[in-house]
């Protein structure tokens, strides 16, 4: 038997995958997920929190899949969104303004940060800005019903990866340029 969160995800995914969704019926969601309305409200408080929790759970699952490179993650993410574009389109449009934005931005930032950190020195500010660009580009694509093929989107996103790699090289080389301690050892 599926765990409670998985049942909610499946039920919500089914509801939001319909083409004419104007709002989510919480009673129907609870019935399909086999939970009480009281449990739903205790866990989530409102539908936007539930949508956010489900999408973040899906992002975490994608992050754990094979291919730990950022490029592979973005390819998997875009392919998954393309495959379930109605679900993401409805989730995006049914969410309150900035409902899922901050947590999704933070999710992207943490992943890009761990990617950059493995490669050496980096600027937190630049990584945060790149995560915001990544998030904004993906949300723009979703808000337009994923009409553009995701290979075009990936070309844009690869630029972000290259910027991260470039700024890591820049920070690493600056660190080497300003680290004169090895010269002092030679003269002793």
pLDDT tens, position by position, 95-112: 765 555 677 778 878 877
pLDDT tens, position by position, 91-150: 888 876 555 567 777 887 887 777 777 766 667 787 788 788 888 888 888 888 888 777
Q: How many helices (H) and strands (E) does the chain have?
A: 10, 0
Separation CA 170–CA 151 (nearest Å): 28
Residue written as token pair 């205790």: 42
Answer for the pair 78, 134: CB distance below 8 angstroms, yes or no: no
Answer for the pair 53, 44: CB distance below 8 angstroms, yes or no: yes
pTM listed for this prediction: 0.76
pLDDT tens, position by position, 49-97: 888 888 888 888 877 765 567 778 788 888 888 899 999 888 888 876 5
Answer for the pair 45, 16: CB distance below 8 angstroms, yes or no: no
Q: What is the DSSP letter of 98?
A: T
């Amino acid at each position: 038997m599926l765990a409670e969160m998985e049942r909610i995800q499946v039920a919500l995914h089914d509801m939001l995958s319909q083409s004419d969704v104007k709002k989510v019926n919480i009673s129907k969601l609870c019935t399909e997920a086999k939970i009480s309305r009281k449990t739903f409200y205790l866990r989530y408080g409102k539908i936007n929190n539930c949508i956010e929790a489900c999408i973040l759970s899906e992002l975490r699952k994608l992050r754990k899949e094979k291919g730990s490179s950022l490029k592979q993650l973005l390819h998997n993410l875009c392919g998954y969104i393309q495959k379930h574009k109605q679900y993401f389109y409805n989730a995006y449009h049914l969410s309150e303004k900035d409902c899922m934005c901050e947590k999704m931005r933070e999710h992207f930032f943490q992943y890009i940060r761990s990617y950059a950190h493995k490669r050496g020195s980096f600027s937190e500010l630049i990584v945060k800005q790149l995560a915001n660009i990544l998030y904004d580009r993906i949300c723009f694509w979703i808000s337009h019903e994923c009409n553009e093929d995701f290979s075009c989107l990936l070309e844009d996103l690869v630029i972000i990866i290259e910027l991260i790699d470039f700024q890591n090289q820049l920070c690493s080389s600056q660190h080497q340029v300003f680290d004169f301690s090895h010269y002092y050892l030679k003269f002793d």
